[in-house]
Amino acid sequence: MSALPKVRLFAVLTILTVFPLVFSFKILIVNPFPGKSHDLPFFKLTEGLVKKGHQVSSIGHFPFGTPLANCTYVRLAKPDSVYISYFDLKSFSGSRSEKWFMMKYMKAYAETLCGDDFGADSVHRFFNETHNFDVMITLAFSGDCFFSLAHKYRVPVIGISTIFMPVWISERLGNPSNPSHVPNVVLDNMKPMGFWMKMETLFVNVYQKLFYDYFIVSTGEKIAKKYFGEDLPSLRSMAFNISFLLVNTYFTYFIPLSLVPTIAEMGGIQTGKLQKPPNDLEKWINESTHGVIYFSLGSMIKGHTFPDEKRQEFLKAFGRLPQRVLWKYENDTMPGKPDNVMIQKWMPQLDILCHPNVKAFISHGGLLGTTEAVHCGVPVMVMPQYGDQFTNAKALEANGGGVILHLYEATEEKVYDALKTILDPKFKKQAEELSTRFRDRPMPPLETAIYWVEYVARHRGAHHMRTAAVGMPLYKYLLLDVIAFLLLVFGLVFAASFYVTRAIFRKLFGKKDKQKGD
């Protein structure tokens, strides 16, 4: 054999050794939630899977800016859903009762997701085509009607929770949600919880589970059976058959939890390669001698809903600061705006937050913004409004990444004092230490998510990883049957001991009393 073929053979063997065989899977991704912030993790995962060579079919509300190769996109019926700009800052009081009954919004979401969206012509044209998939990825915390697609295509399901894991999702995976130390997604009860906090968390957990099962799941089931027939298995059984769950949190900035093997955290999946901000923004940031404060209330709260009197309090506080302020504000003008404030309708948030001259962030406590601030090491003044934002805010505060100031109590002095607190170099150091812990992990969040998607696809599910607690009756899960048996045995032993002891005493002392009487 000549030297040249030997070299070629060696090269081929080297390539096969260094680069393992790559399997291309067909993946269905469904995100029916009509909020852009909830879509970004799905987009980043889709982009990552396509780059790995997988074929993806994606169903959602927000088409990609640049079409992706090997990706078919199906747009849902109402891209301009009212929920995209539904939330009005004047609508939320921040009261405890408002948090307790946040499930009414979940029901409204489910009715939209399983009504207009599930019945969209574009979706049903897709249903009527012939498709084969290896795995399906879908939103897991609301709108279970799309689980019926897993039955149609006979594929394992990976759920994504774009918020802190709700109790009804924990139940499906058999994951502990003990109210003694695990907070509820809509309450701001963080550890250590006192007696009344634990009582409140327990009550809300039970209420949410019952409400979700009897009102939200039933709504989706009726609609799913309308399209796929009455013989469709129950959505509850399909939801409990989920193979894996990816949660958009991470314990170093949130809260350490006991997680079963079928749950992985991917908090920070939307972070990636940074880009330079647009020229006008970069110039404004760079020319700020004392740094910049970035102000954004996310994609679902619009600037025109900001109460006028509160806006003036913020502007007066900003006017007292040497820092410049970038305010994401959807209106073209802002009455009373001082010279150190710039408004724009859209800004590249991650690129701005990670700019070295950005010193603080004013946020509503959305999970993506919270994650990005932690990733960039920027301290936050959080003004939670609804949903999971109260819990996100408390977690950030507890880990030294921010302070909380509720909008209803915001005055010029309180806004100024809160900003001075987080602008202090000591607070900045805390935020940077939190960022270091957040970034220090075995794999980047996107790679973690892709690994588990490929794992589930390779093994046609992950039921071998399921804990025995999945679907277990509550009385067995809480060992009530064992406790009842032990109480019965203890009771019988106690009763037997009592009667035997009494008989012995009567035998012994009864004779003496009789002899004395004689």
The residues, ordered by sequence, that sit 6+ positions from 326 with a Cβ below 8 Å of its Cβ are 281, 284, 285, 292, 293, 294, 295, 342, 344, 347, 352
* 414: confidence class by pLDDT, cuts 50, 70, 90: very high
Q: What is the mean pLDDT of residues 424-441?
A: 94
Residue 333 pLDDT more than 70? Answer: yes
CA distance 393 to 125: 42
164-211 pLDDT, tens digit each: 889 989 989 999 988 888 888 888 877 778 888 889 889 999 998 888
**Cis, peptide link before residue 20, omega less than 30° from 0:** no
442-455 pLDDT, tens digit each: 999 999 999 999 99
Residue 411 is predicted with a pLDDT of 93
Contact in structure between 328 and 304 (CB atoms under 8 Å): no
Residue 194 is predicted with a pLDDT of 85
The residues, ordered by sequence, that sit 6+ positions from 338 with a Cβ below 8 Å of its Cβ are 315, 318, 319
Provide the pairing of β-strand 324-328 with 380-382: unpaired
Q: Tell me the β-bridge partners of 245.
A: 159, 263
In sequence order, which ranges of 33-102 are alpha helices (DSSP H)? Answer: 36-51, 96-100
Give the count of beta carbons closer than 10 Å to the beta carbon of residue 141. Answer: 24
Tokens of 406: 């509720």
367-398 pLDDT, tens digit each: 889 999 999 999 999 999 888 888 999 999 98
Residue 362 is predicted with a pLDDT of 94
In sequence order, which ranges of 459-479 are alpha helices (DSSP H)? Answer: 474-477
Contact in structure between 122 and 74 (CB atoms under 8 Å): yes
- Mean pLDDT lowest for which of 100-114, 247-261, 363-377, 503-517? 503-517
Tokens of 342: 């710039």
281-325 pLDDT, tens digit each: 899 999 999 999 999 988 777 777 788 898 899 999 999 999 999
- Express as a percent the part of the chain with pLDDT over 90: 41
Tokens of 422: 């987080």
Residue 452 is predicted with a pLDDT of 96
Residue 19 is predicted with a pLDDT of 45
In sequence order, which ranges of 186-306 are alpha helices (DSSP H)? Answer: 195-211, 217-228, 235-239, 279-286
What is the SS3 assignment for 406-418? CHHHCCHHHHHHH
Q: What is the mean pLDDT of residues 10-38?
A: 69
Residue 175 is predicted with a pLDDT of 92
105-144 pLDDT, tens digit each: 778 777 777 776 676 777 778 888 888 999 999 988 777 8
Residue 259 is predicted with a pLDDT of 92
CA distance 307 to 347: 22
How far is CA 123 from each of CA 143, 150, 352, 513, rounded to the nearest angstrom? 15, 15, 37, 92
Which of 16-25, 133-142, 486-495 has the highest average model confidence (pLDDT)? 486-495
Residue 459 is predicted with a pLDDT of 94
Residue 121 is predicted with a pLDDT of 76
* 91: confidence class by pLDDT, cuts 50, 70, 90: low
Contact in structure between 321 and 293 (CB atoms under 8 Å): yes
* 431: confidence class by pLDDT, cuts 50, 70, 90: very high
Give the count of beta carbons closer than 10 Å to the beta carbon of residue 47. Answer: 17
The residues, ordered by sequence, that sit 6+ positions from 78 with a Cβ below 8 Å of its Cβ are 34, 61, 116, 117
Residue 20 pLDDT more than 50? Answer: no
Residue 83 pLDDT more than 50? Answer: no
Residue 331 pLDDT more than 90? Answer: no
User: Which residue, 302, 297, 397, 294, is CA-closest to 351?
Assistant: 294
Residue 12 pLDDT more than 60? Answer: no
Residue 229 pLDDT more than 60? Answer: yes
CA distance 105 to 299: 17
Q: What is the mean pLDDT of residues 67-84?
A: 69
Which of 19-23, 230-234, 270-274, 429-433 has the highest average model confidence (pLDDT)? 429-433
Residue 437 is predicted with a pLDDT of 94
Contact in structure between 59 and 80 (CB atoms under 8 Å): no
Residue 381 is predicted with a pLDDT of 96
Report residue 87: phi and psi, to 5°: -75, 125
Contact in structure between 386 and 407 (CB atoms under 8 Å): no
- Express as a percent the part of the chain with pLDDT over 70: 89
Which of 226-230, 234-238, 314-318 has the highest average model confidence (pLDDT)? 314-318
Report residue 341: phi and psi, to 5°: -115, 130
pTM: 0.87
Instruction: State the virtual CA torsion across 13, 19, 21, 24 in degrees, nearest 10.
Output: -150
**471 CB-contact burial (10 Å; exposed 0-12 / middle 13-18 / buried 19+):** middle
Q: What is the mean pLDDT of the chain?
A: 85
Residue 508 is predicted with a pLDDT of 82
Q: What is the mean pLDDT of residues 46-60?
A: 91
Residue 513 pLDDT more than 60? Answer: no
442-489 pLDDT, tens digit each: 999 999 999 999 999 999 999 899 999 888 888 898 899 999 999 999
Residue 82 pLDDT more than 50? Answer: no
Residue 424 is predicted with a pLDDT of 93
